[in-house]
Structure 1
Amino acid sequence: MSEKTHRRGFVGKTAAWTAASLAAGWSLPATAASDAEGAAPAAEALPSPLPRGKIKNLEVSRLLLGGNLLTHYTHSRDLRYVYQLAREYNTDEKILQTLAVAEANGINTLIIHYVPHALEILQEHRRRGGKMQWITCTAHAMVSGGLDAFKQQIDALVAAGTNALYISGVEGDHACGFMNDISAPEAEERVGAPRIELLAQALEYAKKFGLPVGIGGHRMGVVEDCEKAGLDNDFYMVTFHHLKYPTAKLNFDSRWCARSEELAALMQNVRKPWIAFKVMAAGTIPPQSAFRYAFENGADFIVAGMFDFEIAQDAALAAQIIAETQNRSRPWCA
């Protein structure tokens, strides 16, 4: 019985992945196409379209594609070979295929940092007819180079064709005085003086382009400070995940949200759209648990770093969980 169940699950996933691949406009090897055709009669129907919400005037799928894997940056604790593995697998052409598969499965937006070569690949995707939207941030320029460096990278992102901008989580953290390592026991301690005026200046500059602009953070204190100051950001991009996994206590690139219950309570009173990221704690929490926790506890959108072969299943899972969590305590704010 277990062998039959395993095979049925495999066939269903293969058929869904194949259908998404064909819809995206790229072909399969003859043997794979033949196998998929043979399995088609037994496969389940593809899921309904992935729901969307609006951030200002931008319509965004509630599941977004995370950009770290596409820029070969993986949070993999001390497994250093994983960085090289991601780089070898996600070639430029594979990234283009991944974007196409994501679109075919209803994901219309990705989140990515300022990486010039990655932007070139995204532009090539558009030249090939792709419609993927970009929500981008600087490569933490405000921390390393100050406001002038931030402005330069924002200019470059707008010129490249971004659809929305946000102040990165590292920039938001530092401007609010949170400079300790995010996974350290003292992550939530302020060790520097908050510089809300710096955030306000950065926000003002980014908003002059007329695009949606958000503020990112890895600590709930960033949201508290911004709300208290009355900053006019269009959305928040904040880490959010539960702590029910073994490596949460290792304090080594394995925890991104130390006070998840308190953050959920805080966001109850925030009516700006909330994009939750690191919902799987960099791959340590399974999607089923991570997605449900984020959506049930108030996130309007979630970001997931996904390889191409994971997208169809994750998109279907997100759509199912969203359909089951309409009556949540925090209303949908987008």
Structure 2
Amino acid sequence: MADRTDRRRFLNATLLGAAGAGAALSREETILGAAVDEGKVDAPARPVYKGDPLPRGRLGKLEISRLIMGGNLVGGFAHSRDLLYVSRLLREYNTDDRIFETLALAERSGINTVQFNTGCYPYIEKYNREHGGKMQAILCVDADFNDPVRVKDQIQEMVGRGVAALYTHGMFTDRCVMNGKLDVVAKYVEMIKAAGVPAGVGSHSLETTIASEKEGWNPDYYVKTFHPDAYWSASPPEARDEWCWYREYSQDHDKYHDNIFCVSPTRTEEVMKAANKPWLAFKVMAAGALTPQVGFQFAYSHGADFIIAGMFDFQVADDVSIAVKALKRSQKRERPWFG
């Protein structure tokens, strides 16, 4: 109801604004404005994608769409460089009603899986329970990795609540690799497997993927950042630091300030060619610095098997269309398709 009221208010304001500016309303516009006032009509709903089906792949026994809806926009966890208002803007825009509407649009457009953090998972539970959804969720384990009891409890709780797959949170996993605590990650991968769902390793750093392959953690899949670096705010190659995400932001324009998430896309592509596991790529648009046309095509054609992408309600249909076209153009890529 809140969304309906907001949209009515917007359409009313648009019509009144036109009149106030001296524009003459047509007979149709006058009738429409009156109907909006009476609550008989609403602003047009967002479109549903209706083209060729969005392809799916597999994680173990799960069948998941090659485009997965990311959860950062739902939770308001925005990578916004030096734009301080963006996270609040996300939280203000994505009301509960709009989140459920976006999930419905995604599902009707062919997306059957989301990647959320544990704090946002209740939206999926409520959507499936109260709105007739069948959306699957892949979650990151984000309990403190220094507390194995809490990690195990979270894994068991999430699986008990119906989560389809789990993976180790990128920040905690990377920090373990930074500090030489490789056995910790290996143990948590085994915990997830023992709980009966596909187990993944998440990371920003390629060193984490390399450590996993070398140490034999044997996850069922990887969740790794991947995007081209041809955009203005990207740190230049000579100023990049493998662990930059976990240090203080620099005020030097040419160094890290929440502005690059895959420091070497070429090296990432080469390492992932040897990793015979499904690869879920995220941050494929460099947190909004690239268009989905560029980010999706790059990720699929250079080896990613699935893409995680945050999207607003007004982007869903376009993003699915772009993904379908990019997948068609990427069928003969070098890295075999996994999943």
TM-score range, shorter chain: 0.7 to 0.9
Q: CA deviation at 1:156?
A: 2.5
Match of 1:150 in 2: 151
Match of 2:212 in 1: 226
Equivalent residue for 1:257, pick from 262, 285, 291: 262
Equivalent residue for 1:46, pick from 31, 37, 50: 50
The count of aligned residue pairs is: 280
Q: CA deviation at 1:32?
A: 4.4
> Whose Rg is larger?
2
Instruction: Please tell me the residue identity of whatever aligns with 2:190.
Output: E
Asked if 1:120 is matched to 2:125, the reply is no
1:229-262 Cα offsets, whole Å, 9 max, x none, are: 1112100000001100001124111100001100
Match of 2:221 in 1: 235
The answer to whether the 8 Å contact 1:136/1:166 transfers is yes
TM-score by length of 2: 0.79
Ranges of 4+ aligned residues in structure 1 off by more than 4 Å: none
Q: CA deviation at 1:150?
A: 1.7
Q: CA deviation at 1:160?
A: 2.2
The answer to whether the 8 Å contact 1:77/1:253 transfers is yes
TM-score by length of 1: 0.80
Equivalent residue for 1:105, pick from 109, 115, 120: 109
1:303-314 matches, within 5 Å, as 303-314=308-319
Q: CA deviation at 1:120?
A: 2.0
Task: Classify the secondary structure of the residue corresponding to 1:246.
Answer: coil
The answer to whether the 8 Å contact 1:140/1:170 transfers is no
Equivalent residue for 1:205, pick from 188, 191, 204: 191
Instruction: Please tell me the residue identity of whatever aligns with 2:62.
Output: L
Instruction: State the distance in 1 between where 2:136 and 2:221 align.
Output: 16
The answer to whether the 8 Å contact 2:303/2:335 transfers is yes
Instruction: State the distance in 1 between where 2:90 and 2:335 align.
Output: 36
- In terms of mean alpha carbon deviation, does 153-162 or 243-252 score higher? 153-162
Match of 2:202 in 1: 216
Asked if 1:70 is matched to 2:74, the reply is yes
Instruction: Please tell me the residue identity of whatever aligns with 1:203.
Output: V
Instruction: State the distance in 1 between where 2:40 and 2:211 align.
Output: 54
Task: Classify the secondary structure of the residue corresponding to 1:310.
Answer: helix
Instruction: State the distance in 1 between where 2:93 and 2:161 align.
Output: 25
Match of 2:32 in 1: none
Match of 2:291 in 1: 286
Q: CA deviation at 1:29?
A: 7.3
Match of 1:30 in 2: 41
Instruction: Please tell me the residue identity of whatever aligns with 2:126.
Output: E
Asked if 1:132 is matched to 2:143, the reply is no
Instruction: State the distance in 1 between where 2:148 and 2:266 align.
Output: 33
The answer to whether the 8 Å contact 1:102/1:108 transfers is yes
The answer to whether the 8 Å contact 1:220/1:263 transfers is yes
The answer to whether the 8 Å contact 1:111/1:135 transfers is yes
Instruction: Please tell me the residue identity of whatever aligns with 1:166.
Output: Y
Instruction: State the distance in 1 between where 2:197 and 2:42 align.
Output: 46
Instruction: State the distance in 2 between where 1:29 and 1:245 align.
Output: 46
Asked if 1:88 is matched to 2:74, the reply is no
The answer to whether the 8 Å contact 2:100/2:123 transfers is yes
Instruction: Please tell me the residue identity of whatever aligns with 1:113.
Output: N
Instruction: Please tell me the residue identity of whatever aligns with 2:264.
Output: R
The answer to whether the 8 Å contact 1:119/1:160 transfers is no
Instruction: Please tell me the residue identity of whatever aligns with 1:232.
Output: N
Instruction: State the distance in 2 between where 1:71 and 1:141 align.
Output: 19
Q: CA deviation at 1:159?
A: 2.5
Q: Gaps spanning 5+ residues in structure 2: where?
A: 1-38, 236-252
Task: Classify the secondary structure of the residue corresponding to 1:199.
Answer: helix
Instruction: State the distance in 2 between where 1:220 and 1:138 align.
Output: 19
Q: CA deviation at 1:158?
A: 1.6
Instruction: State the distance in 2 between where 1:56 and 1:328 align.
Output: 23
Instruction: Please tell me the residue identity of whatever aligns with 1:97.
Output: E
Q: CA deviation at 1:114?
A: 1.4
Match of 1:248 in 2: 234
Instruction: State the distance in 2 between where 1:332 and 1:231 align.
Output: 21
Instruction: State the distance in 2 between where 1:227 and 1:149 align.
Output: 26
